[in-house]
Amino acid sequence: MKSFIFITLIFLFACGGTLSEEQRKKLKEGMELNTLKKVSDAQLTEAAFDMGRKLAMIVQKFSTDDKKRIDSLQEAYKIRILRLQPGDSLLLALEQQIVEAYTAGSNQVPLNDNIQSMGVDSLLYTKPVMKQLPNGEVEFKYALGLHLSKRQVVLSIRE
């Protein structure tokens, strides 16, 4: 029994216990992910706009009708991508209100992207997609909706 303990101790000391540079970097990143961050509402909103705009640019390169591509983007970025259209009965109440606001204001004011809180842990980024009419006016076509996780947005904030 004593020889087994002795051999085990020699084996443990022989391993060295040193980490490679890559392992240290991963360990440090993991520790940073587990630290608490105090983020103001303004910082959260700004970061959500930044993230939403970047992701919207990526999504708009493809058709929202291409389900396979949209599914792969949703999986890769851990978001939910929606096409918010007037008259869609599957929309949540908040999504329906946003579509109605975009529809009502399409001829009066320039429409901008928007961030709304969706419960405790998610945000909804919306961007109106407009259609140019032959007479030069623009018409609201649909809104691109991105459901973002607040955790994901907070982790994207660099100090």
pLDDT tens sequence across 34-83: 666 787 888 889 999 999 999 999 888 887 778 888 888 889 888 899 88
Q: How far apart are CA 4 and CA 86, in angstroms?
A: 74
Buried b (16+ CB within 10 A) or exposed e, 93-108: eebbebbebbbeebee
Residue 28 lies in a domain: no
Per residue in 2-40, pLDDT tens?
666 666 656 656 655 666 788 777 777 777 666 667 878
- CATH number of the domain bearing residue 122: 3.30.450
Total number of domains constituting the chain: 1
Q: How many helices (H) and strands (E) does the chain have?
A: 6, 4
Residue 110 lies in a domain: yes
Task: Please name the residue that has the structure tokens 């105090």.
Answer: 38
Residue 88 lies in a domain: yes
**pTM metric for this prediction:** 0.74
Residue 146 lies in a domain: yes
Residue 8 lies in a domain: no
Q: How far apart are CA 89 and CA 129, in angstroms?
A: 19
Residue 135 lies in a domain: yes
Domain range for residue 71?
40-156
